[in-house]
């Protein structure tokens, strides 16, 4: 949907919540924000004659990418259509073999929108070098140091954001760099911010899809100078600290942020310092920095609501121009028309229905300075987004919602598979390997002896005569079925149905060679796994949910960083 006088056609897949809608939003973040694109979209004005009426009229829009940056704010800007199109920077969304099907429409035919917001620490260019510090990394490959998944609900009533700490360890999918260099899927765990080096923003998106099973249609990136220009354009953002803070260690590390206790309005380089501060907030970790970013983005959204008004066209011009020049987007958002349509969708969400969260995490057993997704609770958060359930607990059941979709959550090791499209073979022709994983993750309990043999015999009694026990063992909290290739999907789902397992327990994985049943801790005895608990209806407390209307949020200052 678009407002009166809006030029152009609707953006691809973005409409007033109807079937086929797609997208999300970006925002200034952490240690930096999104890097340089690989070129600009060509201008679309008619150079040889007067522009069409729709293009001659100054574009009335909702702060376009600005609306994205501030989580669905409303506004309008008066900038010429051709000029803005010529300043949109794009990069390819190359997902390689990691594509997922589009989000499923709800019972009313409305479709959710998902966008990955990427903050790059690129130090390529004089402005970014001056702002970024760390001279030893000048002109080096950028890192995706800020990653936030934005989910706009199908009915446009709410918006959810999940941040992933940059120190998260996970598996990387196969990715290809723009120069053709191929990075094979990682065999071990890799720090998530390295994805940008392995194949550009498309690899970062593919890594999220691999972990969460959430189909992501778009990305947006911002860099150091983009954060500064946006904060300057809005005229400052109010933030709060509970004590005087000075983010500087004895050996000179830290962002340099220095603020008095209470609320201060920050902009320009000071805003960048806030978003990059690690030393001085909470426990001095990257997790604390994520929480500070959430507070900033919510405050920024509220400021845009106050300032992005038609009665102040001069300010709107600067806001809109700063937003366009700050962002790099995928080719699906390479026209003002598309950004306008997207911003109109974001406008529908009130700030009180915006929920900022951090992926639940645990300290990694492999590296005490790194984190991994928290078993159970991280997947619950991802599941809620996949199923378009509001993270603020204000959701209502949708007519025709699938009961099986809300059943058992899939483990965090891989996303659940998409519904099988290939037909299943007869049970007697489906080879099934049964692996004993009854000890749970982290070997919390001893495994039940001979459990793989018992369940293999159960499958044989159900007609799966090629089921055999695997000599290997594993550890899973919930029972699941993994398969290797798409032509095995139907067979895997047939095994799940025979055992009474939900579709969410079926996963595609490169860790197996065929259909493999992992008998988890939830199935230590009997002929059926323990029924899962009722699915969550709001974000877990470990995700640190923050409401967009919370003006009392205040960062706790770390001991030793006061003045």
Per-residue pLDDT at 155 exceeds 70: yes
- pLDDT for 43 equals 37
Phi, psi of 18 (to 5 degrees): -80, 180
- pLDDT number for residue 81: 66
78 or 152, greater pLDDT: 152
Statement: residue 160 has pLDDT above 80: yes
**Three-state secondary structure readout of 401-470:** CCCHHHCCCCCCCCCECCCCCCCCCCHHHCCEEEEECECCHHHCCCCCCCHHHHHHHHHHHCCCCCEEEE
Quickly tell me which residue has 């600067």 as its tokens.
318
pLDDT value at residue 129: 39
What CATH number is given for 427-523 in this structure? Answer: 3.30.70.2390
The conformation of residue 178, written as its DSSP 8-state character, comes to T
Nearest residue to 321 (alpha-carbon basis) of 397, 231, 230? 230
Confidence of residue 122 (pLDDT cuts 50, 70, 90): low
What's the Cα-to-Cα distance from 445 to each of 292, 330, 372, rounded to whole Å? 38, 46, 20
123 pLDDT exceeds 50?
no
Contact 331, 517 (CB under 8 A): no
Decide: 150 and 25 in contact? Cβ < 8 Å.
Answer: yes
Write down the pLDDT at residue 401.
39
- Predicted confidence at residue 402, as pLDDT, reads 36
Long-range pairs for 242-246: beta carbons < 8 A, 24 or more residues apart: 242/554, 242/555, 242/556, 242/557, 243/557, 243/562, 244/557, 244/562, 244/563, 245/277, 245/280, 245/281, 245/555, 245/557, 245/561, 245/562, 245/563, 246/280, 246/561, 246/562, 246/563
Return the higher-pLDDT residue of 242 and 88: 242
SS3 assignment, position 211: helix
Task: Report residue 443's pLDDT band, with 50, 70 and 90 as the boundaries.
Answer: low
Domain 53-232+308-359 has CATH 3.30.420.590: yes
442 confidence band (pLDDT: 50, 70, 90) = low
User: What's the rounded mean pLDDT across residues 58-64?
Assistant: 35
Flag whether pLDDT at 31 surpasses 50. no
In 3D space, the residue among 325, 331, 387 whose CA is nearest the CA of residue 12 turns out to be 331
Query: Between 163 and 224, where is the model more confident?
Result: 163
Strand order, beta sheet including 327-330: 89-91, 327-330, 218-222, 113-120, 144-152, 159-164, 354-358, 546-547
Q: What is the value of pTM for the model shown?
A: 0.69
Residue 3 has pLDDT above 60, yes or no: no
- Which pLDDT value is given to residue 10? 37
Going from N- to C-terminal start, the domains of the chain cover 53-232+308-359, 427-523
Instruction: Tell me what pLDDT residue 323 has.
Output: 75
Tokens of 356: 């900022």
Contact, 412 vs 375, CB < 8 A? Answer: yes
222 or 520, which is more confident: 520
d(CA 45, CA 83): 8
At residue 344, the pLDDT reads 82
Per-residue pLDDT tens digits for 336-346: 888 878 888 88
Spatial CA neighbour of 508 closest among 414, 422, 434: 414
How far, in Å, CA of 493 to CA of 425, rounded?
A: 11
Q: How far apart are CA 143 and CA 193, in angstroms?
A: 5
Residue 4 pLDDT exceeds 90: no
Residue 274: pLDDT over 90: yes
pLDDT at residue 374 is higher than 70: yes
| CA pseudo-torsion sign 189, 193, 198, 202 | positive
Instruction: Average the pLDDT over 358-382 and give the result.
Output: 93
pLDDT at residue 9 tops 70:
no
Confidence of residue 61 (pLDDT cuts 50, 70, 90): very low
Region 265-290: what's the mean pLDDT?
92
Among 126-140, 198-212, 327-341, 449-463, the range scoring the smallest mean pLDDT is 126-140
Quick one: how far is CA 43 from the chain centroid?
Answer: 30
Band of pLDDT at residue 316, cut at 50, 70 and 90:
low
Tell me how far CA of residue 69 lies from CA of 115, 118, 361, in angstroms.
12, 11, 26
d(CA 198, CA 193): 10
Residue with tokens 């059943």: 407
For 492-540, the DSSP string reads HHHHHHHHT--GGGEEE-TT-SS-EEEE-GGGSSSSSPPPPPPPPSS--
Yes or no: say if 470 and 435 are a contact pair by the CB < 8 Å rule.
Answer: yes
**465-512 pLDDT per residue, tens:** 999 999 998 888 889 999 998 899 999 999 999 999 988 899 888 889
Report the pLDDT value the prediction gives residue 308, as an integer from 0 to 100: 60
**How much is the average pLDDT of 94-116?**
86
pLDDT band at residue 408, thresholds of 50, 70 and 90?
very low
Q: Say whether pLDDT at 520 is over 60.
A: yes
Calculate mean pLDDT across residues 352-363: 95
Q: Higher-confidence residue: 223 or 194?
A: 194
Q: What is the mean pLDDT of residues 36-56?
A: 39
Per-residue model confidence (pLDDT) at position 228: 74
- Angle made by CA atoms 437, 443, 449, in degrees to the nearest 5: 50
Could you give the 3-state DSSP secondary structure of residue 147?
Answer: strand
Query: What pLDDT sits at residue 310?
Result: 52
Residue with tokens 């969460």: 212
Q: What is the DSSP code string of 99-126?
A: --PPPPP-TTS---EEEEEEEE----SH
Is residue 75 within 8 Å of 319, Cβ to Cβ? yes
pLDDT at 312: 63
The three-state (H, E, C) secondary structure of 184-208, written as one string: CCCCCCEEHHHHHHHHCHHHHHHHH
Give pLDDT, residue 452.
96
> How far is the C-alpha of 351 from the C-alpha of 161, rounded, in Å?
13
Does the pLDDT of residue 214 top 90, yes or no?
yes
| Whether the Cβ atoms of residue 302 and residue 351 lie closer than 8 Å to each other | yes
What is the pLDDT of the chain when averaged over all its residues? Answer: 78
Strand partners, 79: 59
Distance of CA 148 to the CA centre of its chain: 4
């Amino acid at each position: 949907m678009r407002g009166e006088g809006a030029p152009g056609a609707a953006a691809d897949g973005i409409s007033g919540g109807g079937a086929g809608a797609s997208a999300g939003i970006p925002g200034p973040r952490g240690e930096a924000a999104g890097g340089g694109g690989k070129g600009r979209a060509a201008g679309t004005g008619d150079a040889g004659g007067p522009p069409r009426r729709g293009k001659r009229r100054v574009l009335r829009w909702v702060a376009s990418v600005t609306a994205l940056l501030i989580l669905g704010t409303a506004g309008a800007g008066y900038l010429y259509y051709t000029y803005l199109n010529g300043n949109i920077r794009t990069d390819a969304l190359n997902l390689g073999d990691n594509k997922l099907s589009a989000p499923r429409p709800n019972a009313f035919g409305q479709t959710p929108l998902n966008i990955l917001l990427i903050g790059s620490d690129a130090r390529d260019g004089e402005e970014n070098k001056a702002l970024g510090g760390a001279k030893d990394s000048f002109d080096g490959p950028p890192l995706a140091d800020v990653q936030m998944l934005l989910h706009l609900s199908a009915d446009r009533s709410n918006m959810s954001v999940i941040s992933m700490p940059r120190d998260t360890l996970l598996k990387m999918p196969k990715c290809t760099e723009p120069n053709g260099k191929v990075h094979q899927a990682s065999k071990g765990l890799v720090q998530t911010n390295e994805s940008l080096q392995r194949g550009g923003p498309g690899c970062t998106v593919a890594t999220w899809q691999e972990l969460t099973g959430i189909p992501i249609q778009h990305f947006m990136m911002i860099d150091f100078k983009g954060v500064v220009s946006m904060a300057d354009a809005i005229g400052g953002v109010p933030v709060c600290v509970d004590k005087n803070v000075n983010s500087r260690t004895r050996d000179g590390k830290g962002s340099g942020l220095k603020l008095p206790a209470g609320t201060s309005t920050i902009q320009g380089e000071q805003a960048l310092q806030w978003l990059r501060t690690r030393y001085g907030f909470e426990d001095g970790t990257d997790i604390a920095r994520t929480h500070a970013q959430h507070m900033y983005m919510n405050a920024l959204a509220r400021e845009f609501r106050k300032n992005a008004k038609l009665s102040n066209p001069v300010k709107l011009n600067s806001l809109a121009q700063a937003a366009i020049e700050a962002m790099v987007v995928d080719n699906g958002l390479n026209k003002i028309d598309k950004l306008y349509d997207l911003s109109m969708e974001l406008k529908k969400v009130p700030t009180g229905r915006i929920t900022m969260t951090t992926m639940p995490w645990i300290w990694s057993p492999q590296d005490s300075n790194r984190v991994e997704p928290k078993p159970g609770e991280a997947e619950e958060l991802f599941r809620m987004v996949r199923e378009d359930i509001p993270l603020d607990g204000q959701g209502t059941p949708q007519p025709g919602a699938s009961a099986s979709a809300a059943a058992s959550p899939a483990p965090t090791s891989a996303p659940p598979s998409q519904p099988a499209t290939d037909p299943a073979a007869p049970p007697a022709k489906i080879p099934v390997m049964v692996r004993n994983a009854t000890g749970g993750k982290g070997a919390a309990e001893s495994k039940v002896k001979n459990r793989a043999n018992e369940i293999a015999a159960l499958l044989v009694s159900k007609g799966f005569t090629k089921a055999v026990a695997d000599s290997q063992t594993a550890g899973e909290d919930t029972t699941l079925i993994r398969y290797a290739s798409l032509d095995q999907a139907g067979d895997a789902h047939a095994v799940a149905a025979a055992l009474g397992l939900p579709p969410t327990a079926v996963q595609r994985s490169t860790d197996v060679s065929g259909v493999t049943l992992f008998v988890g801790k939830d199935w230590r005895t009997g002929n059926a796994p323990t029924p899962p608990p009722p699915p969550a209806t709001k974000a877990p407390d470990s995700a640190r949910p923050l409401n967009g209307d919370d003006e009392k949020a205040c960062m706790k200052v770390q001991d030793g960083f006061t003045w």
